[in-house]
């Protein structure tokens, strides 16, 4: 049986990738299990310059999920290249640098630096607010997303994966726009914009009013979106959204995902990466799956 897969020429020993923002740069979880067993790790979301992140409550549990408003706290691209990459390189797994930005110029400058660094892939987070045009996220309107992906593509010599927001006006149009702009692959979905109220203070739980919802609660919607996008595009798609079991992994592969990312489940079970991988091997055996290509995109 083989669980390995290739995305944009990059070899993944299995389709389980740790999702950005839940896994740091891998070092903390590597103290609990050998994270080299994973197919890949997508780094904590980077920005060109260091960011402190948001004030107030940053994480909040919800039924079958959680909300977060971390606000991309990160050391910046330069520090990542200096300290993060050498540390991640010790982990024997595919190194994906996840990067966002608040304006196109920052995206381009960051991508240019990362492109010259020792990373395997660049995952572009387009869910960030565009501060130069009213704060609306890049990933909501297809023409805006196309603009930033086109600009990054011009400076990016690494495989370019675009991480899509489920808050996009039309997820399929968005996917097609990113593909046309030069994305080598797509990953979806990021968190759903959501809200929670503290009735005692009569205010939003979050200082930024809204926050991102993740976890099993979003899985059925994410699955539907991955299915729709896989039907429409030709580039590989990485499925994300509430994946917590090996069965979930197979579901995403069956709707067409080449690989998956696991995020929130790492908080519920800190050895989830290893555990889901072990379960996946057993599940494939039980289901008579010798190669994941047998079931990929069968729906």
Partner 1 sequence: MEYFETKVVGQERITDDIFVLKVERRDAVVAAGQFFMLKCWDNELTLMRPISLFKADEHTLYFMYRVIGKGTRRLSILRTGDSIMLLGSLGTGFPVQEVSGKVALVGGGLGIPPLCQTVRELHDLGVETDVFVGYRDTPFALVDFEPYAHAIFVATEKGNEGYRGFVTDLLKPEDYDAVFTCGPEIMMRKVAAICDATNTPCWCSMEHRMACGIGACFGCSIRTPEGMKRVCKDGPVFPAHLLFQK
Residues identified as active-site: 128
Indicate the residue among 34 and 180 with the shorter CB distance to partner 1: 34
- Residue 264 C-beta: closest distance to partner 1, Å: 6
Residue 285: Cβ within 10 Å count: 11
Q: Is 143 in the site for partner 1 (CB under 8 A)?
A: no
Give the separation between CA 245 and CA 251, rounded to whole angstroms. Answer: 10
- For partner 1, the binding residues in 211-250 under the rule CB under 8 A are 215-216, 244
H or E, element range at 36: none
Is 53 among the residues that bind partner 1 (CB under 8 A)?
yes
For tokens 């990021």, the residue is: 190
Number of residues located near partner 1, criterion CB under 8 A: 35
User: Which range touches partner 1 (CB under 8 A), out of 81-89, 91-99, 104-112, 266-274?
Assistant: 266-274
Identified binder of partner 1 from the candidate list 8, 37, 49, 60, rule CB under 8 A: 60
Please, which residues have CB within 8 angstroms of residue 85's CB and are 6 or more apart in sequence?
95, 97, 117, 118, 119
Cβ 288 to partner 1, closest distance in Å?
Answer: 27
Closest distance between partner 1 and the C-beta of residue 82, in Å?
Answer: 17
CA 232 vs. chain centroid, Å, equals 20
For partner 1, the binding residue among 13, 44, 227, 296 (CB under 8 A) is: 44
Residue from the set 8, 37, 58, 78 that interacts with partner 1 by CB under 8 A: 58
Nearer to partner 1, 29 or 80 (CB): 29
The span from the CA of 159 to the CA of 9, in Å, is 8
Tell which one of 266, 277, 280, 292 touches partner 1 (CB under 8 A).
Answer: 266
Per residue in 74-113, is it b (16+ CB within 10 Å) or e — as a string?
bbbbeebbeebbeebeebebbbbbbbbbbbbebbbbbbbb
Specify the stretch interacting with partner 1 by CB under 8 A; choose among 191-199, 228-236, 250-258, 265-273: 265-273
57 binds partner 1 (CB under 8 A): yes
Q: Does 208 bind partner 1 (CB under 8 A)?
A: no
7 closest CA partner among 111, 158, 151, 148: 158
3 state DSSP class of 275: helix
Provide the 10 A C-beta neighbour count for residue 34. 13
Separation of alpha carbons 191 and 247, rounded Å? 21
Please give the Cα distance from 174 to 15 (Å, whole number): 24
Q: Is residue 52 at the binding interface for partner 1, with CB under 8 A as the rule?
A: yes
> Which one, 96 or 265, has the nearer CB to partner 1?
265
List residues binding partner 1 (CB under 8 A): 21-24, 28-29, 31-32, 44, 52-53, 55, 57-62, 64-66, 68, 70, 73, 215-216, 244, 264-271
């Amino acid at each position: 049986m083989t669980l390995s897969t290739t995305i944009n020429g990059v070899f993944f020993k299995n389709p389980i990738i740790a999702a950005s923002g839940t896994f740091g740069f891998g070092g903390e979880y590597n103290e609990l299990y050998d994270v080299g067993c994973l197919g890949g790790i997508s780094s904590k979301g980077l920005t060109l310059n260091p960011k402190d992140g948001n004030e107030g409550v940053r994480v909040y549990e919800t039924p079958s999920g959680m909300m977060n408003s971390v606000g991309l706290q990160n050391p910046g691209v330069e520090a990542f290249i200096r300290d993060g990459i050498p540390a991640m390189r010790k982990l024997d797994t595919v190194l994906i640098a996840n990067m966002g930005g608040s304006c196109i110029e920052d995206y381009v400058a960051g991508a240019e630096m990362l492109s010259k660094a020792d990373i395997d892939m660049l995952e572009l987070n387009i869910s960030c607010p565009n501060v130069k045009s009213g704060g609306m996220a890049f990933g909501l309107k297809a023409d805006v997303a196309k603009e930033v992906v086109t600009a990054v593509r011009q400076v990016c010599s690494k495989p370019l994966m675009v991480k899509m927001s489920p808050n996009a006006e039309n997820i399929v149009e968005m996917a097609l726009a990113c593909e046309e702009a030069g994305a080598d692959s797509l990953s979806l979905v990021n968190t759903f914009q959501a809200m929670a109220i503290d009735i005692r203070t009569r205010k939003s739980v979050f200082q930024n009013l809204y926050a991102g919802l993740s976890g099993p609660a979003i899985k059925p919607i994410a699955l539907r979106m991955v299915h729709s996008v896989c039907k429409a595009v030709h580039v590989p798609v990485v499925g994300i959204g509430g994946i917590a079991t090996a069965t979930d992994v197979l579901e995403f592969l069956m709707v067409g995902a080449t690989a998956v990312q696991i995020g929130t489940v790492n908080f519920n079970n800190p050895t989830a990466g290893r555990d889901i991988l072990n379960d996946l091997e057993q599940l494939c055996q039980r289901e008579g799956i010798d190669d994941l290509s047998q079931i990929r995109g069968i729906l």
